Amino acid sequence: MVRTRVKQVDSDILIIGGGMAGTGAAWEAKYWCRGCRIVLAEKANINRSGAVAMGLSAINTYLGLKCKENTVEDYVKYVRGDLMGIVREDLVYDYARHVDSTVHLFDEWGLPIWPAPNGCYVREGKWQIMIHGESYKAIVAEAARKAIGDDNIMNRVMVTHLLKSPSNPNRVAGALGFNVNDGTIYVFKAKAIIMAAGGGSQIYRPRSQGEGLGRSWYPPWSSASSYGMMIESGAVMTMFEARFVVPRFKDGYGPVGAYQLMLKTRISNVNGQDFWKPHLEEIRKLYSGKGKYVDLPITPTTLRVYAQRLEWINGRGPSLMRTDETVKKGTDSEAIAFEDFLDMTISQVAIWAGQNHEPSERPYEVITTEPYVMGSHATECGAWASGPEDLSPRKIDGLPDDRGTQYYWGYNRMTTLDGLFCAGDACGANPHKFSSGSFTEGRLAAKSAVLYLMDHSDERIDIDKGQVDSMISKLVEPLERWEEGRYSVVTGPSTMHPVDPGKIYWKQGLFRLQKIMDEYAGGWSTMYTTNEWMLNRAIELLQFLKEDFINYAAARDWHELMRTWELWHRILTAEAVVRHMLFRKETRWPGYYVRADYPALDDENWHVFVNSRYDAKTGRWELWKVPVIHIIEFP
């Protein structure tokens, strides 16, 4: 019998996740609600957690409104074009009109942003500015800590499940989690909850194996917990078919932005030729010969990725970043080249050192990654959320007056579950937030959560003791299973791969999940290609994995229990991805995946959002289309 210590934590607002969105939510919530108790739970430590943990060399979303460099409308057009026409323009417009103020806060807090002679910032690209950002996250976290107080920051606490109100099955009233160091179980009770627990990596098999096992571009600790918790609670989710593949420097997953945008470095095939032009007409055929997306001022990310893959298929790969043409030894270009990685991807510098590589002397391979499930980069997975009142249509004619089909139901960034808000990777259909936009969206969600508290000040928040006891039993069941059968393990507890026919451990389950998704759901081993048969096979195998998890998952300590519940969140997210891909019968993002049985874009039938809802009691999924409403005129 596993002995546990249970603590109840009452709060006005509970923030789940301490990345950029979570810290933004904490800072903003305290500004508007100084008498409130705001609690933030983070499974790591907010000083170095989330996607910005290692730092960044640029802020990718800054409009420069003060210097009249860009407009909000132009940014919405850019985001819409990059996602092949399908974004929630109300949500994108909303964070875009506020993101500059967030960056100015970062500047005030001490983030070293490169100043330009004209009083603006040094540009990396049209929307990006350069920073000395190794300590980016630590600076932002300090502001959140000072705002709500260190006593309300619960580091090393993983939240695993949301709790519903016993009187309202659509009302989220709390959450359940545990300290991964000492095993203390926390029952959180909250009047409003902001979900900001990040997106999902390692759902697909990474390219890195052996010594590099687990190395990925998006952080390996981002376990899709935002999605897993919301899916299991019955929130409406959106656009999980738009998972993301990105070109990165080989093996170290170093980003390519500074090289392409700041240093103007081209990517070629192995013959030194352009990778894009040979495939221009072939790509146009996907769009019935039209240049609607092909001929935009900035080529959409998915099409650039697709062109590189076509080069490999034609035997002219891999792609090469021609650093030998733009990085000059002993100059500022070399300093920028190395600082770019030292700020955020140190492993790439280590690989270059180990391979005796000098970027000024030779090009380096660029390769596409395994897919990621996220909502803040050039993709839009996440929860379906209410938009801002002034931008979102109140009622879409011809559709049921249901939150899962409408754009607005009262509180900006509130999910279809009452009292549950989302931000960053957790909020779907509004991509290209990156770090500054995610922090901004956390601020927007927090302001709405405070308004929600004010409007429901007389509401009594209850959580059912029976529900809590049942979920605690479920939470620690993997530990119980280990204790009950520990002496049947053949190889003993010291190995990472115990042999026991009656149990499944987190790493075994993770390898199994990655194999399913890689081979059947458009991973890198199939050149990101899938079809209806393969997707149905993936669903079948995922059901077996879910059954084995429920009946046989075992954990030997609290750290393994964390990994075990991370696996569960990844499994639920993986199923959402597969079911969405199966539902959308077209290939809208060919660089991210190709539906070989529906290889072209079909705007007539699929210029829509795909939404879904999961019933945890029955295991059934419901999927449907929602029209795309454009608020900006754009071809």
Catalogue the active-site residues. Answer: 60, 124, 217, 248, 340, 377, 435
**What's the burial of 19, exposed, middle or buried (CB within 10 Å: 0-12/13-18/19+)?**
buried
Element (H, E) at 41: strand 38-42
Which amino acid belongs to residue 298?
Answer: I
Residue 44 CB contacts under 8 Å (≥ 6 apart), including other chains: 18, 53, 155, 156, 221
The pair of three-digit structure tokens given for residue 106, joined into one six-digit string: 């970062």
One DSSP character per residue, 263-310 reads: S---EE-TTS-BSSGGGHHHHHHTTTT--TTTTSSS--HHHHHHHHHH
To the nearest 10°, report the CA torsion of 111, 112, 113, 114: 180
Residue 628 CB contacts under 8 Å (≥ 6 apart), including other chains: 85, 86, 87, 607, 608, 609
Apex 86 CA angle, 84 and 91, nearest 5 = 130
The pair of three-digit structure tokens given for residue 563, joined into one six-digit string: 């990994």
Which amino acid belongs to residue 470?
Answer: S
Q: Rounded CA gap, 561 and 471, in Å? A: 14
Cβ atoms of 519 and 512 closer than 8 Å? no
**What's the burial of 88, exposed, middle or buried (CB within 10 Å: 0-12/13-18/19+)?**
buried
Q: Rounded CA gap, 569 and 566, in Å? A: 5
DSSP SS3 for 83: coil
DSSP SS3 for 608: strand
Other Cβ atoms less than 10 A from the Cβ of 631: the count is 16
Which DSSP state fits 565? H
- CA-CA distances (angstroms) from residue 161 to 180, 231, 381, 411? 15, 10, 20, 23
The pair of three-digit structure tokens given for residue 115, joined into one six-digit string: 């100043």
Cβ atoms of 199 and 218 closer than 8 Å? yes
Q: Rounded CA gap, 349 and 367, in Å? A: 17
The pair of three-digit structure tokens given for residue 179, joined into one six-digit string: 């300290």
**What's the burial of 167, exposed, middle or buried (CB within 10 Å: 0-12/13-18/19+)?**
exposed
DSSP SS3 for 526: helix
The pair of three-digit structure tokens given for residue 297, joined into one six-digit string: 């001022």
Q: Rounded CA gap, 19 and 623, in Å? A: 30
- CA-CA distances (angstroms) from residue 69 to 58, 307, 377, 601, 632? 17, 30, 22, 33, 19
Q: Which residue has the tokens 């460099």?
A: 69
Smallest CA-to-CA distance from 220 within 200, 250, 242, 204 is with: 200
